[in-house]
């Protein structure tokens, strides 16, 4: 007689056999929205680093899909939880005739520990659709399937595929997770939202989405889904749940009709000709999203669960500085799941508030919608609405044209609705109601300079601006360094003055603004780098000057280093600047400045480095330079490339690629102050950390009027220690 366990194994083997043999293999050949080959793995440019104790490979994702802009007749219906979204999902699934596609991060149980008796309306409707002959395909994350919906669906004959598991992702896919929240019914109805299929998401959170009735929209997203489906993994179901009754329908249970909410959002259909842009991550979301953010002229209103990519708050701050009348406001969730999400979002919110951009926390009142505010939507200029499945994070809005380690990008999808005041107004009305019951981050009383970031490089004719908050009858003034304050006239609670940096000394300068009010004095100041030089005859002079990627005979972990040299005749503030390789970056601390005519060393192991070279290493970074191909990058406070040196691999900044140094040799810039983006800027030689020192100035430390063209200037003298016989 077969034991129960053996019977379970045989049953699952039979189910898996049926599933694998019946799985659909969908082709996306000839589809107009696919811009690259259909196989994701073949689209990844794999670059091997043949090196012990270093990452096995660098993966560069080649986008497969373009964004799609269309203008045609369609029906668009905004949805929100907890007000109406659950009813809308159930409504459309229950009316499916031919197919239902679901791509979601996870599906979890509503109020039980057994799927056979769970009351999830979405799962119940999906099972009912399957039972009446509708083709149902579900793609979720393996890592997120804590309740084993995979096993339950497979036991009923419903097709399921996983999108990757970081622990078992042997292919090392750059795109290894779905964070998407997509449903397509009958190749015509698309539901795109922020909603994961859980009880909390539908009944306690504030979530937002949109239903679009359009075969063109559905086809665009279905093509991407089919590609992910073909690249996905056939699940190996857990044998922990083997008691599913394959013939049992889900137990019927009536859910509460009303959930705690401060809004009463009815389902509204907008019918007409609409102009929309469809996009996805990591293929094109970055470019689409930042393009439209940077086009804002009047207002940006954001509702976002978490902000962890600094480019977003930096972009909003820069837009506000460039256009002080631009109304930017951000609503965030009062809490997030992980500590890192909370820390990153707090940092982003504080930076926005510090730059006079209001930020609001969602309500914690239990009589209102007080769960996670898991929204991902924003409204631009009162006419553009973006509905997205992803957060403002590096994983969900992945920067383009860069290398990443395995699994650093999510599949997310979005839709931008253009030139629709009515739909924008609908979303703005919900946003206003949510903000009204939330709490505002404290904006400091006083004065704030709004022109520059700490350690920013400025030159030429520039503008110093300041804004005043919650003060009346105040006197305004400003100054540079320790000069006397210069009084200015208030203009709309602030001021702006233009000046030419030619009148200030090269090097680190302090800009300070002041507001005096009833004997109270408020000040704000920022340290910037003023560097006046003729860009036609000279170049930037804080540069990467030596790279040692392949030590011999010493171990890589003890000897690898990067050298950075300041060849300017003045100190340069590097607070917030970064240096490192493709995977690891060292961030220079508050107030750090690199002295004039000085080289600094960033080493993997400062103690071992000093023992080997008898030279002091300044900073330690746990990086690993590849022996055969890699790059070193030097970035400013905004993350912009200041210097970029690559060997054995194409450079991102169009500079020439350097030859790969042999074992025991380093790449050395010669002379130290020249950067022509040519391979000839570097030589290959025996490592010589801090062995070169620029000596004679050709740039005045007081005024650029003393700057002479290169061909008339005194040469930079290079004194190189003679560490090897015959070496100068």
Q: Per DSSP, what are the bridge partners of residue 411?
A: 178
Is the backbone of residue 381 left (phi > 0), alpha (psi -120 to 50) or beta? left
Find out whether 106 and 180 touch, Cβ atoms under 8 Å: no
How do residues 664-688 score in pLDDT, each as one tens digit?
999 999 999 999 999 999 999 999 9
How do residues 41-72 score in pLDDT, each as one tens digit?
222 222 222 222 333 344 456 788 999 999 99
Euclidean distance between CA atoms 274 and 78, whole angstroms: 14
Distances (CA, A) of 123 to 68, 80, 356: 31, 19, 45
What is the end-to-end Cα distance of the chain in Å, rounded?
87
State which residues of the chain have pLDDT below 50.
1-59, 165-171, 239-256, 401-406, 695-728
Which phi and psi angles does 199 have, rounded to 5°? -65, -40
Complete edge-to-edge strand list for the sheet that includes strand 520-530: 457-458, 520-530, 507-517, 475-480, 486-488
Per-residue confidence (pLDDT) for residue 587, from 0 to 100: 87
Find out whether 331 and 378 touch, Cβ atoms under 8 Å: no
Per-residue confidence (pLDDT) for residue 400, from 0 to 100: 61
Give the DSSP H or E segment for 354: helix 339-354
Residue where the block lists tokens 């084993």: 148
Full 3-state SS string of 370-439? CCCECCEEEEECCCEEEEECCCECCCCCCCCCCEECCCCEEEEEEEEEECCHHHHHHHHHHHHHHHHCCE
Please give the structure tokens belonging to residue 720. Answer: 């190189």
Per-residue confidence (pLDDT) for residue 300, from 0 to 100: 97
Find out whether 489 and 468 touch, Cβ atoms under 8 Å: no
pTM for the whole thing? 0.59
Per-residue confidence (pLDDT) for residue 244, from 0 to 100: 45
The full set of domains in the chain, from first to last, is 276-438 (3.30.870.10), 446-530 (2.60.40.10), 542-720 (2.60.40.1260)
Strand pairing category for 135-140 and 159-162: parallel
Euclidean distance between CA atoms 455 and 591, whole angstroms: 9
Euclidean distance between CA atoms 8 and 718, whole angstroms: 77
Is the backbone of residue 233 left (phi > 0), alpha (psi -120 to 50) or beta? beta
């Amino acid at each position: 007689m077969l034991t129960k366990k053996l019977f379970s194994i045989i049953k699952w083997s039979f189910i898996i056999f049926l599933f694998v043999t019946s799985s659909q293999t969908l082709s996306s050949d000839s589809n107009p929205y696919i811009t690259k080959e259909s196989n994701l793995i073949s689209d990844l440019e794999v670059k091997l680093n043949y090196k012990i104790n270093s990452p096995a490979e660098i993966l560069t994702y080649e986008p497969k899909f373009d964004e799609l802009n269309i203008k045609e007749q369609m029906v668009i219906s905004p949805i929100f939880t907890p007000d109406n979204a659950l009813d809308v999902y159930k409504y459309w699934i229950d009316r499916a005739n031919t197919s239902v596609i679901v791509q979601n991060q996870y599906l979890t149980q509503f109020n039980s520990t057994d799927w056979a008796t769970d009351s999830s309306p979405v799962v119940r409707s999906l099972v009912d659709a399957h039972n009446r002959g509708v083709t149902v395909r579900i793609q979720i994350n393996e890592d997120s399937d804590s309740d084993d919906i995979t096993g339950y669906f497979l036991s009923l004959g419903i097709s399921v595929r996983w999108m990757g598991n970081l622990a078992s992702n042997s292919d090392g896919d750059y795109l290894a997770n779905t964070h998407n929240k997509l449903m397509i019914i009958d190749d015509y109805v698309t539901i795109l939202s922020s909603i994961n299929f859980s009880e909390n998401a539908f009944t306690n959170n504030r979530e937002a989405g949109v239903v679009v009735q359009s075969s063109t929209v559905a086809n665009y997203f279905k093509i991407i889904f089919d590609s992910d489906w073909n690249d996905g993994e056939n699940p190996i179901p857990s044998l922990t749940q083997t008691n599913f009754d394959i013939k049992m329908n889900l137990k019927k249970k009536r859910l509460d009709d009303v959930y705690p909410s401060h809004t009463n959002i009815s389902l509204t259909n907008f019918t007409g000709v609409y102009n929309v842009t469809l996009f996805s991550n990591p293929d094109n979301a970055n470019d689409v999203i930042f393009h439209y953010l940077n086009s804002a002229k009047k207002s940006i209103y954001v509702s976002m669960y978490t902000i962890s990519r600094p480019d977003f708050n930096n972009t909003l701050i820069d837009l506000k500085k460039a256009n002080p009348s631009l109304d930017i406001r951000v609503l965030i969730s009062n809490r997030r799941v992980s500590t890192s999400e909370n820390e990153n979002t707090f940092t982003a919110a504080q930076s926005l508030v510090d730059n006079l951009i209001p930020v609001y926390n969602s309500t914690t009142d239990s009589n209102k919608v007080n769960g996670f505010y898991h929204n991902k939507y924003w409204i631009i200029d009162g006419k553009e609405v973006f509905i997205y499945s992803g957060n403002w994070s590096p994983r969900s809005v992945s920067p383009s044209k860069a290398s990443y380690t395995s699994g650093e990008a999510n599949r997310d999808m979005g839709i931008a609705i253009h030139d629709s005041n009515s739909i924008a107004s609908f979303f703005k009305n919900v946003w206003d109601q949510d903000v009204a019951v939330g709490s505002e981050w404290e904006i400091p009383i006083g004065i704030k300079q709004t022109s520059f970031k700490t350690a920013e490089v400025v030159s030429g004719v520039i503008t110093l601006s300041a804004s005043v908050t919650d003060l009346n009858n105040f006197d305004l003034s400003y100054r540079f360094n320790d000069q006397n304050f210069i009084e200015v006239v208030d203009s709309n609670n602030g001021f702006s003055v233009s000046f030419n940096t030619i009148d200030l000394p090269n090097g680190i300068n302090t800009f300070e603004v002041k507001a005096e009010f009833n004997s109270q004095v408020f000040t704000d100041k920022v340290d910037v780098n003023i560097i006046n030089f003729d860009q036609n005859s000279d170049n930037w002079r804080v540069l990467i000057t030596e790279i040692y990627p392949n030590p011999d005979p010493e171990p890589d972990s003890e000897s690898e280093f990067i050298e950075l040299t300041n060849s300017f005749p003045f100190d340069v503030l590097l607070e917030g600047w970064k240096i490192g390789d493709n995977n690891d970056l060292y961030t220079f601390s508050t107030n750090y400045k690199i002295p004039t005519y000085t080289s600094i060393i960033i080493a993997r192991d400062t103690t071992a480095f000093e023992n080997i070279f008898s030279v002091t290493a300044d900073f330690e970074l746990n990086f690993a330079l590849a022996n055969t191909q890699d790059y070193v990058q030097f970035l400013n406070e905004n993350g912009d490339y200041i210097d970029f040196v690559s060997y054995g691999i194409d450079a991102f900044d169009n500079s020439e690629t350097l030859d790969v140094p042999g074992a025991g040799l380093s790449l050395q810039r010669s002379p130290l102050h020249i950067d022509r983006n040519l391979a000839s800027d570097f030589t290959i030689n025996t490592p010589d950390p801090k062995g070169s020192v620029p000596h004679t100035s050709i740039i005045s430390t007081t005024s650029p009027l003393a700057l002479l063209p290169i061909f008339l200037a005194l040469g930079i003298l290079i004194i190189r220690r003679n560490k090897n016989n015959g070496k100068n």
